[in-house]
Chains A and B, each alone.
Chain A
Amino acid sequence: MNPRSGPQLHEVVPPAEQFAATPARPPERERPAVPLLAAQNLRVSFPAGKGQWLTAVEDVSLTVSEGETLGIVGESGSGKSTVARCLAGLLRPGSGTVSLRGELLGARRTREQHRAVQLVFQDPYSSLNPRLSVRSVLSELLVFHGLAQGEALERRCQELMALVGLPADALDGYPSSFSGGQRQRIAIARALAVEPQVVVADEPISSLDVSVQAAILALFADLRDRLGIGMVLISHNLAVVRNICDQAAVMYLGRVVEVGEREEIFTDPRHPYTRALLAAAPRLRPGPDRVEARLRGEPPSPTARPSGCAFHPRCPRAEPVCATERPELLPAPAASSRLAACHFRDEKG
C-alpha cells in the first residue's frame, strides 16, 4: 500500500483490514434452529398527544445467528431505530418478545442480559462522554461487570484498542482529541469491552467522512468474523447493507415489507418499495437504464397509516385490493426463505 506512510498521528488503519474484502458467505449455510437473537412480533407505540397513539413498530419479527449480520434498511420513520432500541433493551416493546438463544429477555434485563446485547450509536461525537478518557470509559465497564481488575484491567484495555485498530496510547486520550473515525472505533471498543454476543449498530458510519467509512465497515465485518458475534446493522444506505450484511430486512412505516438473503433482495426484489429504494439510490457509475417510475410523494406519517398495504398510495403496482387488504409477509417465491409483504410478490420486478 502506501510506501511513504511515516508516523501517522491520526487514523490508524491496519493493513489487513484495509484491503480485506468482506467475504461473501455461502448462502446455503444452515441457519441454526435456535437463533442467537430473535425478535417476535414486536410492537411499539408512542403517545402522540390528544389521546392518539403513534405505532412506530408493528408486528416485526427478526432473527440473527452467530457470525451473521442482519441489515435493516428503511427511510426515516420506518421504525428501524426503534427496533434497534428494543433489541438492545433500551426500550420496552408494547407487545412482542426479544429472546437470546431461546431465553426470553424480560421487561427488566439482568446485568448479564444487558451485557449480551450492545449498541453502537450513529454519532460518536455525542455518544462518548467528553470528560472521560478512553481508559476510564473502558475500565469502568470492565470493573462494573467484574470482567477484569488490576493488571488484567490494563491488559484488557490494550487488547481492546488493538482489536479496533487504535494504538495503545489512545487510552490516555479524551474524545475531543480523536477524529470521527477514531471516535467510532472507541465506541466500538466500548461495546466490545463487555464481550457481547450481539452488537446492534444504528447508522454507525453515516456521520463519518467518506474516506474513513470503508475502514469502519471493514472493522465491523472483521470483528464479526473473528469474534463470531451476531450483528444487526441499521442503515438508510442500501450500499452499506449490501456490502456487509448476510440478511437484509426492508422496513416501511413500522413493518418489515421484505426480508431474506442479501443477494436475493438486491438482485430480485419482490416488494415494490424495495425496488423503488434501489431505483432511487444515487449511483457512482451510470448503470443500465433505471427507467422505473420514481416514487411520488413521501412516506406518510405513522399516525395516519394508509389502509390495506401502507405503501399503496405511492406504489406503481397498486391495485384496488391493496387499499383494502393488508398483504401478509409470506415466502416469495413460494417455499423460499425470503419473505415479502406484497399481493404481487410472485411477480418479478
Chain B
Amino acid sequence: MSGALLRVRDLTVSVGRGERRYVAVRDVGFEVPAGGSLGVVGESGSGKSLTLRALMALLPRGVRAERGVVELAGEALPFTGPGARRARRGRLAMVFQDPLSGLDPVYTVGTQVAEVPRRVLGASAAASRRRAVELLRLVGMPDPERRAHAFPHQLSGGMRQRVLIAMALASEPKVLLCDEPTTALDVTVQAQVLELLDDLRRRLGVAVVFVSHDLAVVRQVADELAVMYTGRVVETGRANEVLGHPAHPYTLGLMEAVVDLDDTAHAPQAIPGALPDLAHVPSGCPFHPRCRFASDDCALSDPGFRYLGGGGSDRGTACKYPERVMAG
C-alpha cells in the first residue's frame, strides 16, 4: 500500500428502479492518508452524501452501489451482504448532520456511548462505562462524569454533536466520515467542533472525510478538496490551491456565489441556471449549460477527468479548458 489509508475508485451509485433508475454518483475516486483530511464540497444533488453512505455501506433501500472499489489499508470492503458492516466495524465511523436524530431519547448519553465499546470491542460493562466518560472528556465535554447521566434533550446542539463524535470514536475507527456535522450548529459552536475534529486528527491520527456545502467551513478542516457536481468529482487538489486558483468553472462559480464576509467590493454572483435534475443530466460536460467558458464541443463529449501537471499530482479537473477558468 502506498500512503493512502482510504482509497476509493470508480464508485458509482444508482437510485430508483427499472426504467426510472438513474446514476446519482458516477466514477467517484479519491484517497485519504492516515491523519489526513479530505473535504467533499457540493450542493444538493451533487452526490456527496450518497458517496459517504456508500463508503459506510449505509445506502437506503432502492439505492445501489453499481461498481467501484473502497479499500481500507489495502483491503477491499464489500458494499453489501453480512460482511459489509462487519468489515467496517471499528474502522470506519460516521457523524451525521442532525445530532438529535442520531441519539436515542430514552437512554442517557453515557449509556449510548458505552454501548459501542461493549458491543463492538467486547469490553465489560464497567470498562465500557469508564471508556464512555473518557471519550466524552476527549471530545471536550465539560464535567463528563456528570454529563454521562444526561439524556439527549438535556444537552445543547453542540454538546449532542460532541456525543455523536464520541460515539463514532468509541469504536476506535481509522477513518471518520462527517456529513455536514456543523450545519445545525451556531457559528461560535461550529468553530469549536471544527477545532475538535482537527485536534482529533492530530492526536489520534484519524483520517477525516468531511462533506459540506459550505466552502468556507471545508477550508478550515480539509487539506485536500474534492468538488462534486451532479454525482461526479469535477475538481480535486490541495485545498488552498483549489480555492486559490480554481480549475473548474463550477468551483469558480461556487466561490463567486459565496457571500463573503471579507469582500464587500464584489457582490456575490449566482451561477446562472439551476442544478439539473439527476435523471436528466445535460450531455457532454454536465455543467456546460451554466458555464460561461463553454465551447460547442463541451455539449458533445464528456470531458473526462485529468490531472494537471502530470502524474503524481493530485490536482485534477473535469474541464476541457481549465486554462480559461484559471485565467478568470
A11, B273: Cβ atoms closer than 8 Å: yes
For B216, B272, B288, the residue with the greatest tally of chain A CB atoms inside 10 Å of its CB is B272
| Whole-angstrom distance between the Cβ of A237 and the nearest chain B Cβ | 7
Residues of A within 8 A of B289 (CB): 4-6, 8
Interface string of B159-194 (1 = CB under 8 A from A): 100000000000000000000000000111111101
A13 in the interface (beta carbon within 8 A): yes
Report A213-234 residues with CB < 8 Å from chain B CB: 213-215, 217-218
A243, B272: Cβ atoms closer than 8 Å: no
Instruction: Tally A residues with Cβ within 8 Å of B.
Output: 56
Stretch at the interface among A29-37, A156-164, A190-198, A275-283: A275-283
B63 in the interface (beta carbon within 8 A): no
B273, A237: Cβ atoms closer than 8 Å: no
B157 in the interface (beta carbon within 8 A): yes
Interface string of A70-107 (1 = CB under 8 A from B): 00000110000000000000000000000000000000
Q: How far is the CA of A1 from the CA of B294 in the complex (A)?
A: 11
A2, B217: Cβ atoms closer than 8 Å: no
Residues of A within 8 A of B275 (CB): 10, 179, 209, 211
Q: How far is the CA of A75 from the CA of B292 in the complex (A)?
A: 37
A213, B188: Cβ atoms closer than 8 Å: no
B206 in the interface (beta carbon within 8 A): no
A277, B187: Cβ atoms closer than 8 Å: yes
B266 in the interface (beta carbon within 8 A): yes
A283, B269: Cβ atoms closer than 8 Å: no
B291, A4: Cβ atoms closer than 8 Å: yes
| Whole-angstrom distance between the Cβ of B42 and the nearest chain A Cβ | 9
User: Given A2-B292, A282-B219: A75 and B192 within 8 A (CB)?
Assistant: no
Contact with B274, one of A8, A239, A276 (Cβ below 8 angstroms) = A8
B243 in the interface (beta carbon within 8 A): yes
| Whole-angstrom distance between the Cβ of B304 and the nearest chain A Cβ | 20
Interface string of B298-328 (1 = CB under 8 A from A): 0100000000000000000000000000000
Q: How far is the CA of A279 from the CA of B156 in the complex (A)?
A: 22
A40 in the interface (beta carbon within 8 A): no
User: Given A2-B290, A179-B275, A298-B159: A277 and B260 within 8 A (CB)?
Assistant: no
Residues of A within 8 A of B257 (CB): 210-214
A49 in the interface (beta carbon within 8 A): no
B125 in the interface (beta carbon within 8 A): no
Q: Which residue of B lies closest to A180 (CB)?
A: B44
A10, B189: Cβ atoms closer than 8 Å: no
Chain A interface SS verdict (over half): loop
B138 in the interface (beta carbon within 8 A): no
B120 in the interface (beta carbon within 8 A): no
B274, A212: Cβ atoms closer than 8 Å: yes
B54 in the interface (beta carbon within 8 A): no
B186, A238: Cβ atoms closer than 8 Å: no
Q: How far is the CA of A10 from the CA of B282 in the complex (A)?
A: 13
B269, A209: Cβ atoms closer than 8 Å: no
| Whole-angstrom distance between the Cβ of A88 and the nearest chain B Cβ | 24
A210, B272: Cβ atoms closer than 8 Å: no
Q: Which residue of A lies closest to B298 (CB)?
A: A4
| Whole-angstrom distance between the Cβ of B56 and the nearest chain A Cβ | 24
A114 in the interface (beta carbon within 8 A): no
Q: How far is the CA of A299 from the CA of B187 in the complex (A)?
A: 11
A282, B216: Cβ atoms closer than 8 Å: yes
B264, A24: Cβ atoms closer than 8 Å: yes
Report A155-185 residues with CB < 8 Å from chain B CB: 179-181
Q: Which residue of A lies closest to B46 (CB)?
A: A209
Contact with B254, one of A3, A211, A242 (Cβ below 8 angstroms) = A211
| Whole-angstrom distance between the Cβ of A177 and the nearest chain B Cβ | 11
B291, A2: Cβ atoms closer than 8 Å: yes
Q: Which residue of B lies closest to A4 (CB)?
A: B294
Residues of B within 8 A of A210 (CB): 43, 213-215, 254, 257-258
User: Given A10-B274, A76-B157: A298 and B267 within 8 A (CB)?
Assistant: no
B156, A298: Cβ atoms closer than 8 Å: yes
A239, B159: Cβ atoms closer than 8 Å: no
Known pairs A280-B190, A283-B262, A294-B192 / 8 extra A-B pairs, C-beta < 8 Å: A2-B292, A75-B188, A211-B254, A212-B274, A215-B270, A218-B268, A281-B261, A282-B187
Pairs of residues from A and B, 9 with the lowest C-beta to C-beta distance, nearest first: A10-B274, A215-B270, A214-B268, A282-B216, A75-B186, A11-B274, A21-B267, A239-B261, A211-B271
> Interface of A with B (CB < 8 Å)?
1-6, 8-11, 13, 18-22, 24, 75-76, 179-181, 209-215, 217-218, 236-240, 242-243, 276-287, 294-299
Interchain Cβ contacts under 8 Å between A and B, 14 examples: A1-B292, A2-B291, A11-B274, A210-B254, A214-B257, A236-B186, A242-B264, A243-B264, A281-B187, A282-B220, A283-B261, A283-B262, A284-B215, A298-B159
